[in-house]
Amino acid sequence: MAKNKKGVEIAQIIPDRCIGCQICLGECPVGAIQITSAGVALIDPEACIGCGKCFQVCPVGAVRFERKRHFPINKEKREPEKREAVEFRGVAIFIEVVDGLGAQVSWELVEKGKELAQKLNVKVMAFILGYQIQKIAEEAIALGCAEVHMVDHPLLKKYISQPYGKALAFLCTEVKPEILLIGATPLGRDLSAVVATYLNTGLTADCTDLDIDEERGLLLMTRPTFGGNIMATIYCQQHRPQMSTVRPRVMKAGEKDFNRHGQVYYHDLTVADTPVCEIIDFIREVPQVGGVDITIAPALVVAGKGACDPSSLPMLQELADLVGGQVACSRPVVEAGLMPYERQVGQTGKTVAPKLYIGIGVSGAVQHLVGIQGSEKIVAINSDPHAPIFQIADVGIVGNYLQVVPLLISGLKKRLHTAGR
Amino acid sequence: MHLVCCLKQVPDTAEVKIDPQTNTLLRSGVESITNPYDLVALEQAVRLKEQYGGKVTAISMGPPQAENVLREALSLGADEGILLSDRLFAGADTLATSYTLAKAIEKLNQESPVDLILCGKQAIDGDTGQTGPGIATRLGFTLFTYVIEIPWIDINKKQIQVKRKVEGGVEIIRGPLPALLTAELELAKPRRASLPLLIFSLRAEVKVWKAEKINADQQKIGLKGSPTWVKKIFPPPLRKGGPKFDTQENLEVAVEQFLDNLLADKKFADSLLGRWET
């Protein structure tokens, strides 16, 4: 038990565990805690009065404090305002409209929303904003939404942050869902931040997993943070709705069944003023010659730093063609100017979830690995037997890719031939 | 023009690694840097100042050592640096952070009306991208996220036109000032500090504002003003690695073994050999 010169039993930070969140700084009544230049908290032993508050609030158990049993955790201030929480019911999904259709990520969220709603014993609702959007309501019901709440208004024909934010915030105050899920697309990320501010509620961005704390009926939102190096589970106890954006392709969409029934409600837009912004033009991204969307390819042949030889590109393309996929790459390959950014996989590139991922000369930095976690099968070819990617690859080859890939191609061709394809 | 640039001090996440044995973060030697997207926003702010005249106020919320971020901003062309630092601000989530920054900008606005706020599109530690839109919403400024170019600003008519990245393309949108924009990397390439400005940045005063100074409601800042709480933190779920075949002894055999293993699951093999027909 550590004591200071005054004989006070003090708290100490375990630097390896500290994530530098600064929560303890705000709680310390005597200002004994500082963040060091290494980004971790440090308690001044002589200033510490041994109250144990930092121990109580630390989310990661990074405070060593021995007198914990004398200080029962003060739960009082975290109790939800029950009245408010009960008033809010149901799981709402914001359905993003793309070219007159519901976005795929929205349907993925409907499926997840059904699972959450079942645990809470409440309804799943679709919130649709736009102009002439009746068809999407039918789709939402076919995918299992029990209720559809729509604001159909010419002002919402095109997405502009403020009118949309006001309209969705308005819908939330009318319908009062306890949970609101939005796809983490550029539009969804922009919109969710505006809405959360209007509603003065918590928002957790870019979640990769959602669940319900069944004891307390709270939404548990898990997201990667610190560049994908750690995962954090976040909750929002007192404010409603509990808002979360979820990355595309993390959840799976359900099947449409047009025999399903649901209620459609139209809401008049009473809060929106004329938009102050005017969209002048939209320039659709013209796919460059050979341009591809690597996020929808069923198979990816991914070149890493160890496969940066431009002359080997045709060989990688041949392998990709053979497995019915596309060529992609990790960040160093883009930085070397060998492939365009649109083909970059990973934290700063695209999140992919192909059926088959073949990493060639990819070492497997965390930033890359977070972008491929959802892949069905991960295969690695690397000359370094200690490359981190082997720790997650389902099967690997240690060797020079220039020798391995041609044999792989001929081996696969043989098997395709035998299979009669 | 009065331009305000919001900057955040972040750990250099590219340097943060996980110890594969213990699954703990290896932070030793990890430096604090200015969020790269914020430096792009600052560069754009300084260019606008050079083009239209006026001043750039750099603002940051953080612990005392976040002063370094503001000194860097001063060395890159900001005229003034203001650090929002108070124990009461600690533990803030994005809602409390946007409140705090908005309160500070309100104060700046009283002294000299703000025309444009520039932020990075997101910070590389949290990656949320919520603070900028939150500030704009609180202040009632026109919001433009993911901006890649500012074709023009008409100061007399108080209008701005921007190009912004949206799903599937680029949108050109126009709206009134005052506005807030969040910067993509393409917006501007940060310059290097000049020697005179470097010297200026070391000598200049960085003002420190506490909660009281910006008339912040104590219920809305720091941990108290934050609706979201961290329940737990854990390493990313890593998949379990399978066998690896070494080519050192026999290349052909290793590749064959590898293929046999890959195609051992018949369902997967059929799917692959049928090129993913459903």
The answer to whether the CB of B144 falls within 8 A of the CB of B180 is yes
Give the residue from B157, B187, B209 where a domain finishes: B209
The verdict on residue B226 lying in a domain is no
Give the residue from B209, B231, B264 where a domain finishes: B209
**Could you say which residues from 109 to 148 on chain A have a Cβ atom under 8 Å away from some Cβ of chain B?**
none
The verdict on residue B51 lying in a domain is yes
pLDDT band at B109 (very low <50, low <70, confident <90, very high): very high
Specify the CATH number for the domain of residue B21. Answer: 3.40.50.620
Residue B190: cis peptide before it, omega within 30 degrees of 0? no
* B55 and B130 inside one domain: yes
Residue A162 three-state SS: helix
What single string gives the DSSP state of each residue in B65-96? Answer: GGHHHHHHHHHTT-SEEEEE--GGGTT--HHH
* B191 and B255 inside one domain: no
Are B91 and A370 an interchain contact pair (Cβ–Cβ within 8 Å)?
no
| Interface mutation target, options A161, A220, A414, chain B, most CBs of B under 10 Å | A161
Query: What are the structure tokens assigned to B24, written together?
Result: 């703990």
* B144 and B275 inside one domain: no
Q: How deeply is A314 buried, as exposed, middle or buried, from its count of CB atoms within 10 A (0-12, 13-18, 19+)?
A: exposed
The verdict on residue B80 lying in a domain is yes
pLDDT digits (tens, 9 = 90+) for B249-264: 899 999 999 999 999 8
In SS3 terms, A350-390 reads as: ECCCCCEEEEECCCCCHHHHCCCCCCCEEEEEECCCCCHHH
Tell me which H or E stretch contains A396.
strand A395-398
With an 8 Å Cβ cutoff, is B126 touching chain A? yes
Q: What is the mean pLDDT of residues B158-184?
A: 95
ipTM given for this complex: 0.86
pLDDT by residue for chain A (421 residues), tens only, comes to 688 888 888 899 988 888 777 778 777 888 888 877 677 888 999 889 888 888 888 877 888 887 654 444 444 444 444 445 568 999 999 999 988 899 999 999 999 999 999 999 999 999 999 998 989 999 999 999 999 999 998 889 999 999 899 999 999 999 999 999 999 999 999 999 999 999 999 999 999 899 999 888 999 999 987 766 678 899 998 899 999 999 887 888 999 999 999 999 999 887 656 668 999 999 887 655 566 788 888 999 999 999 988 899 999 999 999 999 999 999 889 888 888 888 999 877 888 889 999 999 999 987 788 788 878 899 999 999 999 999 899 999 999 999 999 999 999 999 888 876 6
| Interface mutation target, options A164, A166, A203, chain B, most CBs of B under 10 Å | A203
Count of CB contacts below 8 A, A vs B?
328
% chain B with pLDDT above 90: 70
Segments forming the whole domain that contains residue B76: 2-209
Give CA–CA dist A26/B90, Å, rounded: 5
Residue A111 three-state SS: helix
Give CA–CA dist A183/A248, Å, rounded: 7
The verdict on residue B37 lying in a domain is yes
* Radius of gyration of chain A, Cα coordinates, nearest whole angstrom: 26
% chain B with pLDDT above 70: 92
Cα B269 to Cα A323, A359, B254, B261, B277, distances in angstroms: 11, 18, 19, 10, 12
* B71 and B190 inside one domain: yes
* B29 and B155 inside one domain: yes
With an 8 Å Cβ cutoff, is B109 touching chain A? no
Give CA–CA dist A346/A218, Å, rounded: 31
* B243 and B205 inside one domain: no
Give CA–CA dist A413/A415, Å, rounded: 5
Query: What are the structure tokens assigned to A307, written together?
Result: 């496969």
Q: Which of A13-27, B93-107, B217-231 has the lowest mean pLDDT?
A: A13-27
What single string gives the DSSP state of each residue in chain B? Answer: -EEEEEE-EEE-GGG-EE-TTT--EE-TTPPEEE-HHHHHHHHHHHHHHHHH--EEEEEEESSGGGHHHHHHHHHTT-SEEEEE--GGGTT--HHHHHHHHHHHHHHHHHHS---EEEEES--TTT----HHHHHHHHHT-EEEEEEEEEEEEETTTTEEEEEEEETTEEEEEEEESSEEEEE-GGG----PPPHHHHHHHHHSPEEEE-TTTTT--TTSSTTTT--EEEEEEE---PPPP--EEETTT-HHHHHHHHHHHHT-SHHHHHHHHTTT--
Place of tokens 């501007």: B188
* B23 and B141 inside one domain: yes
What single string gives the DSSP state of each residue in A228-257? Answer: TTEEEEEEE-SSSSEEEEE-TTSS------
Q: Which residue has the higher pLDDT, B97 or A215?
A: B97
* B257 and B127 inside one domain: no
Please count the structural domains in chain B: 2
Q: Which residue has the higher pLDDT, B114 or A55?
A: B114
With an 8 Å Cβ cutoff, is A295 touching chain B? no
Q: How far is B139 from chain A (nearest CA, A)?
A: 11
Query: Which residues on B lie below 8 Å from A161 (Cβ)?
Result: 133, 136, 143-145
The verdict on residue B218 lying in a domain is no
Give CA–CA dist A60/A18, Å, rounded: 7
* B205 and B243 inside one domain: no
The verdict on residue B164 lying in a domain is yes
Query: Which residues on A lie below 8 Å from B65 (Cβ)?
Result: 35, 37
The verdict on residue B276 lying in a domain is yes
The predicted pLDDT at position B199 comes to: 94
Give the residue from B209, B227, B261 where a domain finishes: B209
**Residue among B14, B90, B244 minimizing CB distance to A25:** B90
The angle subtended at Cα A26 by Cα B59 and Cα A4, nearest 5°, is 125
* B187 and B249 inside one domain: no
The verdict on residue B221 lying in a domain is no
**Could you say which residues from 9 to 28 on chain A have a Cβ atom under 8 Å away from some Cβ of chain B?**
15-17, 19-23, 25-28
* B257 and B200 inside one domain: no
pLDDT digits (tens, 9 = 90+) for B21-78: 544 555 556 678 999 999 999 999 999 999 999 999 999 999 888 999 999 999 999 9
- Give the chain A residue nearest B138 (alpha carbons): A197
* B263 and B167 inside one domain: no
**Residue among B90, B144, B228 minimizing CB distance to A204:** B228
Query: What are the structure tokens assigned to A174, written together?
Result: 């009318």
